[in-house]
Every structure is written in C-alpha cells, then in structure tokens.
Amino acid sequence: MPDTPMSINAINYGADPTGAKDSTAAIQRAVDAVAARGGGSVELPRGIYRVSYPFIDIKHRVEIFGYGSSTVVIAHSDRAIPTTANGHTEYTGVFHVGSYTTPVYGSYNANKPMRMGVRNLHIRTNAANTPISSYPLDAHTAPLNNVAGVIFHTHLTGDLLNEPDIVPVIAGVEVWDTAIGVAVLGLDDQGMKIDDVTIRRTLNQGLLLGKPAGHPRRPNEGQNSGAADNKLRGIDVAEANLSGGSYAGIEVYAAQAKFENCSSNSNHRTSNKNALYEPATRHAGAGWIVQGERNMFIGCTARSNAGHGWIVEWAHNVFIGCEAEGSSWAGTVSGAAGADEAANWYISRNARGTRMVAPVSYNPPEKPASLYGFYIENKIYDLRITEGTAKDDRIGEGNMLGRRVYVTGAIGANVVIEVEELRHSTSPAGQLTKEAYNVMRG
C-alpha cells in the first residue's frame, strides 16, 4: 500500500525485510515521520528486521504494527547496550518509551506522549550475532541481557491535561529470549489494554507491571509504583527467571489492574527452600507475585513453577476462579532448589482485605510438586477464602493433613477459610436488622 499522511510502510523508509542489514534507523525515521504529522501507524510488512541499540523509540500517537509471527524483529548486540544508568541496572526495550530507569517526561501541559503502541509482531534476540542466514527462527537462542521486548515508562506533567492517562496499547505481541519480556512502569502508563501477549524464556521477569521496591524512581515519586488502572487479557508467560535470581513470571506492583485469563508457567528456581520463605527472595521462580493493592484476577493460573504458584503480599486484591498447580515441580527446579518445597498459594500477613472465590490448589500425580496448598502467615486479618479446593493426586487425600492449609500461627479477626471440608472462621455471623414494613438493613 502507498503511504498516507497517517500510515507509513517502514520499507519505504529503508527498512530491510530480509534481515541482511540493520533497520533500526529506517524504522525510526518512519516513526518520526508519522509522529511529525500528528500520529498514525507504521507498518512492518512480513519479514525479518534486524535492529540494534538504541532500538525503536515510539513517539506520541504512533502505533507500530506487523503481521503476527510473519513479522520478526530481532535485537542484536553488535552495538553496545547500556548495562547501568546512574549506578542502577538498566534495561532498554526493543520497542520503548523511556527506559527501565528513566521515564519520558511530557512538556508541561503538552499532553504528550500518549496513545502509542505495538501490535502483532514477534520480538526475538540474537546475543551471539549469528548471521541471519543461519539464525534458527523455529528455536530459542541465548537470552540477551539488559534488553526487554517492550518498555513503557512515561510521566505527563502539568494540570491541564486532555486525558488523565496515557492509554498505550500492547496487543498480539510475542517476546522470546530477553532479560524482561514486557515492563510497564510509568506514573501515567494507565488506561492500557494489554492483550494476547506471549512471553518465553526471560532472564528476569516475564511481565512487570509497576516499579518494584528498590527501583530508583520510587523514592522520587512518593513510593508510587505507577502503571495503575490497566486491563490485561490473555497474557501467557513461561520460563522466566533463567538467571537464577529472585524473579517471578508475572510481577504486579501496580494498583487497580484487572487481569483476565492470564497464565504464568514453568518458571525456574535454583535457590533453596529457605529462600522461599524469606521476604526478599520468596518470589524466586514463582508464577505470580502481587505486591500491589485493589487488583482483580479472573480465571488466571500458575502451573508447574519452580517456586510458589501465587504470592499474595498486599491488601484488598480479589481472585475469582484462579488456579495454582504443581508448584516447586520436579521438572523445573534445579541447583539447590527441590520439589515438595513451595506453596501453591502463599498469603502474606499484609494481605488483609483479600477475597478469594473458588481458588484451586492442585498437584498432578506424575511428579512431586507443592508442599502446601494454602500457606497463610500468622496475624493475617480480614481474609476470605470461599469454596476453595486443594487436591494432590500423587499423595492422596489421606495424607493431606497440614498440606491442604497451613497457617503459621494465630490469626486475627474477620478471617473465613473454606477449603474442601475445612470451615474455619474468626468472623461471627451477623444478621440483617429487620425494621418496619419488613425493610432489612445491614
């Protein structure tokens, strides 16, 4: 198709779909050109595109789109990739707005940048700089450190904004063999739609939503994690934490996100059992860590992870029909890690206000997996687990005492735990008050 004022084909700007030459500058020229016209789309036709640092800087109101698995963007390391910035570890997105450590600031009251995105393409890496002619398109390669598939890190300034949120989009993207799969970090990276994203084999996190504790920007932003109020559907993460560090497949530090039909599976762990029960390291190889508040998870799963399935650390999160299966699974542990060590559900004492409806803990019969179904720290209060299930087909029902539910000590008020036949409550049942004309209030 010919270019239009709001639609540009990157090949017309010199991008090479054979992968023989570097297309970074050409794709960037296309992005800059459509941005200068007020925004629009940059098309990457079917092909292989070689890119290198500084990779692709997405601009205001520009979306980059490809044709699914037929559009492959391969990040190379032949140009030096920054490893640190101001004394902190740095990561750069193959497609990015800002970097891991540093946001892009909009000019005061400029309402920029916003409404940018990436759709329908496959992001790969080539740490060894293998010639494209022998690059294995159907197999994984060694992950490229200090690179993420996509990073959004934005911050609007001013008090006369047309919209309260950036509203970026990540949809139909697949990421292989990076340090981080996708990271959304900025204070104004809100109102997002992140749909149908697949992430495979990362050194650290697969999906990072919000800045974790220790991120260099948090002290300057009132400890705000950013990335609030986003909607995520169909996220599929597998084989995170290949570095052997303390990373989960999906890490949620943001508030008020909604996850639907997302999964985090087969993440790796090399640390020992003690590390699973220490606050700083217990998310090593976990499916999920939730260290944000007021998030909602519907139909989400954690399966065959080397660490815990779910770690619920902070308050007022809601889980509906979510599953944890086969945590500390014998097939994904290595090094000092062992099977039969983790919990399918780990609930911190700080997770007050948590509501869990029909949560599932399950261990299949083939190999040793989780030690606990629901592991709950003492002093928890205001916790509701209703219609829970805890099954272990390997050891059988007769051996589940202390494994189905394990609470480390005394618990506080307003706790209800219903798992299988167990019914435990520190919340006295109340009744509605009947008043005149049969009006009832509570």
Query: Does the structure show a pLDDT above 70 at 211?
Result: yes
Q: What pLDDT is stored for residue 212 in this prediction?
A: 96
Task: Encode 298-309: b = buried (16+ Cβ within 10 Å), e = exposed.
Answer: bebbbbbbbbbb
**Residue that wins the pLDDT comparison between 218 and 57:** 57
pLDDT at 366: 86
Block residue for tokens 């084999």? 201
More confident residue, 427 or 49: 49
Quick one: CA dihedral 195, 49, 32, 98, positive or negative? positive
Percent of the chain's residues with pLDDT above 70: 99
- Arithmetic mean of pLDDT, 141-145: 98
E strand residue ranges, 54-97: 56-57, 62-65, 71-76, 84-85, 88-89, 92-97
289-305 residue pLDDT tens: 999 999 999 999 999 99
Report the pLDDT value the prediction gives residue 108, as an integer from 0 to 100. 73
34: left (phi over 0), alpha (psi -120 to 50) or beta: alpha
Task: Give pLDDT, residue 159.
Answer: 67
Question: Looking at the predicted structure, is the pLDDT value of residue 13 above 70?
Answer: yes
* Closest by Cα among 79, 12, 11, 77 to 48: 11
Contact between residue 20 and residue 132 where contact means Cβ atoms under 8 Å apart: yes
As a whole number, the mean pLDDT across the chain is: 95
Question: Cα(340)–Cα(386) distance, rounded to whole angstroms?
Answer: 25
> pLDDT, tens digit, for every residue of 176-193?
999 999 999 999 999 999
- What are phi and psi for residue 160, nearest 5 degrees? -125, 70
At residue 428, does pLDDT exceed 90? no
8 Å CB contact between 359 and 336? no
What number is the average pLDDT over the span 427-436?
A: 88
The residue to which tokens 């090593």 are assigned: 284
**pLDDT band at 342, cuts 50/70/90?**
very high
Average pLDDT of span 231-246: 99
Q: Is the pTM of this model over 0.85?
A: yes
> Quick check: 306 pLDDT over 80?
yes
pLDDT of residue 107: 76
Q: Which residues contact 21 (CB under 8 A, 6 or more apart)?
A: 50
Look at 31-45, 125-139, 192-206 and tell me which has the smallest mean pLDDT.
Answer: 125-139
Q: How far apart are CA 192 and CA 39, in angstroms?
A: 18
Q: Strand, helix or coil at 218?
A: helix
* pLDDT number for residue 165: 82
Angle (CA) 310-399-365 rounded to 5° is 65
Confidence of residue 1 (pLDDT cuts 50, 70, 90): low
Indicate the domain borders of the chain. Answer: 1-171, 234-442
163 pLDDT more than 80 = no
* Contact yes or no for 370/327 (Cβ under 8 A): yes
Omega before 113 within 30 of 0, i.e. cis: yes
Flag whether pLDDT at 84 surpasses 80: yes
Range 258-264 average pLDDT: 99
Per-residue CA distances from 160 to 95, 166, 167, 191 (Å)? 29, 14, 17, 18
Is 368's pLDDT higher than 80?
yes
Please check whether residue 120 is in contact with residue 80, taking contact to mean a CB–CB distance below 8 angstroms: no
The percent of the chain in helix, strand and coil, each rounded to the nearest 5, is: 10, 40, 55
